Amino acid sequence: MSETTPPPVITIDGPAGVGKSTISRKVAARLGFTYLDTGAMYRAAALFIDRLGIDSEDETALQHALATVSIELLPAPDEFSDVEVVLNGEKVGALIRSPAMSMRASQLSALPAVRSRLTALQQEWGKRGALVAEGRDTGTVVFPRASYKFYLDASPEIRARRRALQLHAKGEEVDEKKLLEMTIARDRQDMERPIAPLVRATDALLIDTSDKTIDDVLLVILRVVESGLQPG
Ligand SMILES: Nc1ncnc2c1ncn2[C@@H]1O[C@H](COP(=O)(O)OP(=O)(O)OP(=O)(O)O)[C@@H](O)[C@H]1O
Ligand SMILES: Nc1ccn([C@@H]2O[C@H](COP(=O)(O)O)[C@@H](O)[C@H]2O)c(=O)n1
């Protein structure tokens, strides 16, 4: 029996608002890889569960409902936009990107039924072609044998500041203190859950983005990938 080599996967993990989507989209565009936003899938799953009103303690009901859910990610029109998320045929991009949905996705993503279903769906993506996958556990759990792994980090204050600027640019009202509190709370939830917590894979290259521009970070990643050397 002949073994085929799986398509290459680059994983980019890190805490909330550190720049994973921004950087991953650019890396994917530069390399011609598909961009996989695993956080968008957790957000869509949270919306799905809440709409059905399933008791999050009811593992069997969750497993049953999630077994048939359809979560599609449509390519973003350009490297600056979010992927479009289609939940059971409905475009839900605008509904899942609010700060409230960020927290809800974080709460529900700790549930075993949610994690096992979404991990399986994400691993299917990895079989179809070259990927840049970003999230919290893409280098540790989803694609432990990824070709290249990166872990982005920056202080919560810097991340909340960047998020505030981003929302401000969109004309949204911003309470930076509240954003900081939510960032810290979400990180804690994601880092302290028992299953697939946010942690740097031992073989991931740590990039502290605090004093780096987006282009600096992009350059570091592309240099590693184009050199063909494993980062870890
Ligand atoms: N190195 C950087 N320097 C300055 N701003 C940055 C940098 N990296 C990202 N940003 C900005 O920070 C904001 C948050 O980035 P982004 O949405 O990519 O983070 P994320 O890690 O995907 O967040 P989340 O985990 O909530 O999905 C964006 O406005 C982005 O432009
Ligand atoms: N691999 C992942 C990706 C995301 N999550 C959870 O989803 C929340 C939203 O993710 P964003 O990247 O879109 O902000 C996040 O806070 C995590 O709780 C995850 O568990 N695993």
Q: How much distance in Å is there from the Cα of 170 to the middle of ligand 1?
A: 14
Could you say which architecture CATH assigns to the domain 9-221?
A: 3-Layer(aba) Sandwich (3.40)
Which of 41, 109, 193 is the pocket-test mutation for ligand 2 (most atoms within 8 Å of CB)? 109
What are the pLDDT digits (tens) for 127-142?
999 999 999 999 999 9
- The per-residue pLDDT of the chain, averaged, comes to 94
What are the pLDDT digits (tens) for 56-97?
999 999 999 999 999 999 988 887 889 999 999 999 999 999
Three-class HEC string of the chain = CCCCCCCCEEEEECCCCCCHHHHHHHHHHHHCCEEEEHHHHHHHHHHHHHHHCCCCCCHHHHHHHHCCCCEEEECCCCCCCCCEEEECCEECHHHHCCHHHHHHHHHHCCCHHHHHHHHHHHHHHHHHCCEEEEECCHHHHHCCCCCEEEEEECCHHHHHHHHHHHHHHCCCCCCHHHHHHHHHHHHHHHHHCCCCCCCCCCCCEEEECCCCCHHHHHHHHHHHHHHCCCCC
Tell me if 66 sits within 8 A of 114, measured CB to CB: yes
Q: How much distance in Å is there from the Cα of 119 to the middle of ligand 2?
A: 12
Neighbours of 123 (CB within 10 A): 14
Asked if pLDDT for residue 2 goes beyond 60, the answer is: no
Asked if pLDDT for residue 1 goes beyond 50, the answer is: no
In this prediction, residue 3 carries a pLDDT of 67
Q: How much distance in Å is there from the Cα of 33 to the middle of ligand 2?
A: 21
What are the pLDDT digits (tens) for 203-213?
999 999 999 99
Residue 134 beta carbon below 6 angstroms from any ligand 2 atom: no
Any idea which residue has 């590693």 for tokens? 224
Estimate to the nearest angstrom the gap between the alpha carbon of 224 and the chain centroid. Answer: 21
Could you give the CA distance from residue 78 to residue 67 in angstroms, rounded to a whole number? 32
Ligand nearest to the CA of 134: 2
- Among protein residues, the one with the nearest Cα to ligand 2's atom 21 is 136
What are the pLDDT digits (tens) for 9-26?
999 999 999 999 999 999
- Identify the band that residue 183 occupies on the pLDDT scale cut at 50, 70 and 90: very high
- Among protein residues, the one with the nearest Cα to ligand 2's atom 13 is 39
The answer to whether the pTM exceeds 0.90 is yes
In this prediction, residue 231 carries a pLDDT of 62
Q: Which of 34-43, 49-58, 161-170 has the lowest mean pLDDT?
A: 161-170
Size of the chain, expressed as the number of residues it contains: 232
Residue 126 beta carbon below 6 angstroms from any ligand 2 atom: no
- Among protein residues, the one with the nearest Cα to ligand 2's atom 12 is 39
List all residues 6 or more positions away from 79 whose beta carbon is below 8 Å from its beta carbon: 25, 26, 28, 29
Q: Which of 59-73, 160-174, 218-232 has the highest mean pLDDT?
A: 59-73
Asked if pLDDT for residue 180 goes beyond 60, the answer is: yes
Structure tokens at 158: 């810097």
